[in-house]
Amino acid sequence: MFKFSTFLLLILLFPISKIKSQVITKQVAQSENIQDYIPFNLDLSAPKFTQSPINFTKVLLDDIKNNITLERIAVKVETEYLNNDGQFKQSSNELIWSIYFEAPLANSLNITMKDLKLPKGALMYIFSMNTGKNMVHGPVTTNDIYDGYYATDIFNGQNIGVIVKMNVSQREEFRININSVNQGIPNQQNNRNYGSAGSCNYDVNCSIGSGWEDERDAVARMLIDGSFTCSGSLINNANEDFKPFFLTANHCLDNNPNFNTLVFRFKYESENPRCPGKSTGGEGDWFQLTGSYFRASHAPSDFSLVELKQQVKGIARLSMAGWSRSTTPATSGVSIHHPRGDAKKISDYNTTVQSDDNYTLSNGGNVVGDFHWVVDWNIGVTEGGSSGSPLFDQNHRIIGQLAGGNAGCGSSVQDDGYGRFHNSWTGGGTNATRLSNWLGGSSNPMTTNTVEVPYIDHDLGGSIYYCSGTEVFTLINTPPGRSVSWYVSPSNLFSTSGGHASSGSGNTATIAPANSSSSGFSAIYFTLSKPGFNDVVLSRFFWLGKPKRPITSPVNNSIEDRDLASSFNVSINTCEGVENGACNGVWSASGAISENNPSYVGPSQSYYADYQGLGTWSTYTTNVCGNSPTASGDINVKPPFNPGLQVIDVNNPVRDFVNLSVTSQKKNVSATSKFDLQIIDQNGNIQLSKSYLIGQNHQINVSNLISGMYYLRVANEGQVTTTKIFITK
């Protein structure tokens, strides 16, 4: 919003399906440990890059000179930080990539990314650790990435970090390019976020907002190119199919920003409403949706319409605002907006709006666009950053979006101009310049009403696992006129007796597993139907029961031959029903084989053939519901085809001395023939190297070696054999 008087003041899934959800940004109290909100270890030793200082005053003056009409919240700084600029650190089978940035003069930081690829099951968190303003955003998964782009919201303070957890085997799949690190306008230039709006504003949850809760839940703050802020609203369409259209002002987006990195912050509201006054106290847990497609815009009525890349149906406490393309002036109503990027505010009017094709500011300046509804405020005002916010009439329908005006705290004239919705409807006569093509459907109605976004409430809470017992799923916010039916899939996993069913009608579904061994990726679907309208389908995905038996190599129930004293690997190729798709097995061995890495939990295990005979390996995976069926296989340990040498009389375990005798199967072995002995630790380091006579008993002193497993390697005339010893002190 262009204000001459104030222009200088400026945060498991399953790989089978893309399961969408909003990504939460959490404010962490200073007394809390930020590590408690990230479910793996932070690597604070990762590289930290200090960003060059910015002359913020010059930037703001240049904005005036260049007639920039948006509320600047930060300065975009193009960068290129790639995989190798961060730090990889391995812990067991877990790989952590980390990078940090700081900008000592900035009030906030935000970043944009391109060419981003998160491997299946990987988790990304963005966080800041600033005195009193710690923040965590995440988890971000591959399901939240569209076309390789991702952008963060504003993080208060002077530092920001990015951390990604993946499996070691996925390192080559991970790609990142942090292509901008954007610095927030510092405090001495005036805050550009919480508490920034003038003290004459009213928080949206003040009493004047009573009855406007549904419209409140449609409005969001936009972050444009990491630098500018505007307001806007989710908007209903004639099909009422919850397609995520978002209405804002054309002048917010007329500089052709990267629509892939637009950030939409929802539910950003003060926890301690001021009526009026500057926002104080907690900011709540808002969430962001990232990325959009351009749909239409028209400068004369100053509108832009985008479509969010992420679906909004299924998200609690969101609404799609209704609209009216009537030419009859509204007699009362409100605007809901984010002045200066602050928490959501509300302003109301109780006099009839005026239609004006030549609306100007009190100082003679022009307001963007030609076709305006002009409103005089009764309570509250708008400010820079309110641009694009919806103007609602007395019937709770959008009739325009904010173009600009005179209103502001302390202003002698309190009116604003909104681009008229009915002019935007026909726009410039093409699909890219009008609303009718996107919002009208086949019926092309004069009005629609605000509808709350439907979502599924369930006993599982935030869990992705359903273990046992009865579960109740309830559809909340059924749109008027739609009937509801539901079913679960696959149906054979669920009971159809005892008051349970695998399908039905109505808003409530009560389900239960068919039996205690039911297991598999499952979903419940609610279908909302209305004659003449497309069905709306909502789904909730979950894993039922314990994991499936892992698929291994060698395969389950196999029998394979291995040479005595040889090592071999068993790997999990595929697993289902484990958190984040991580195929981490719990391994064991019995009989003639042993584990090279006892107690190791991961996707593979190395085994050793200890003695001639039959050995068995086994593994299973686990989730919160329990352990999977075990996969196992037998190993037939046999002597090498032509061992040449045999190691006999090795005492295990060993304390200070190894008793050793070596014989050879070769004929005519000389009484002075020797073998070469090496004792090698698990890291491949030779701890002892010496020669001894074949056919005699030897006592080798190993008292200087620490407890652990070692390899005893014997060689003679090109023939080699190896066995294991275990030293215990």
- Write out the H or E segment, with its range, that includes residue 324: strand 322-324
Residue given tokens 């907002």 in the structure block:
209
Q: How many CB atoms lie within 10 A of CB 65?
A: 8
β-strands 686-693, 697-701: how paired? unpaired
625 and 606 Cβ atoms separated by less than 8 Å: no
Q: What is the DSSP letter of 425?
A: H
- Would you say 719 and 676 are in contact if contact means Cβ atoms under 8 Å apart? no
Residues found in the chain = 729
Three-state DSSP state, 89 = strand
Q: Which residues contact 356 (CB under 8 A, 6 or more apart)?
A: 372, 373, 374, 417
- What are the C-alpha distances in Å from 40 to residues 35, 37, 122, 393, 661? 8, 9, 12, 49, 50
* Distance separating alpha carbons of residues 163 and 152, to the nearest angstrom: 13
Whether residue 47 has a cis bond before it, omega within 30° of 0: no
Angle at 497 between CA 491 and CA 502, to 5 degrees: 25
Q: Are the CB atoms for 168 and 48 separated by under 8 Å?
A: no
| Rounded-to-integer distance, Cα 282 and Cα 554, Å | 55
Backbone angles phi, psi at 363, to 5 degrees: -90, 10
Separation CA 113–CA 82 (nearest Å): 10
What one-letter code names the amino acid at 300?
Answer: P
CA–CA gap between residue 146 and residue 448 (Å, rounded): 30
DSSP single-letter state for residue 706: P
Give Cα separations from 133 to 152, 197, 338 (angstroms): 16, 19, 20
Structure tokens at 416: 């604003």
Question: Looking up tokens 């497993």, which residue turns up?
Answer: 709
Counting other chains too, the contacts that 502-510 makes at CB distance below 8 Å and 24 or more residues apart are 507/474, 507/475, 507/476, 507/478, 508/472, 508/473, 508/474, 508/475, 509/472, 509/473, 509/474, 510/470, 510/471, 510/472
Half-sphere exposure of 301 (CA within 13 A, CB side): 27
Number of CB atoms found within 10 A of residue 487's CB: 17
d(CA 715, CA 616): 29
Tell me the C-alpha distance between 21 and 634, whole Å: 44
Q: Give the residue numbers annotated as catalytic, written as ranges.
A: 251, 302, 387
Element (H, E) at 62: helix 56-65
The conformation of residue 133, written as its DSSP 8-state character, comes to -
Amino acid (one-letter) located at 690: K
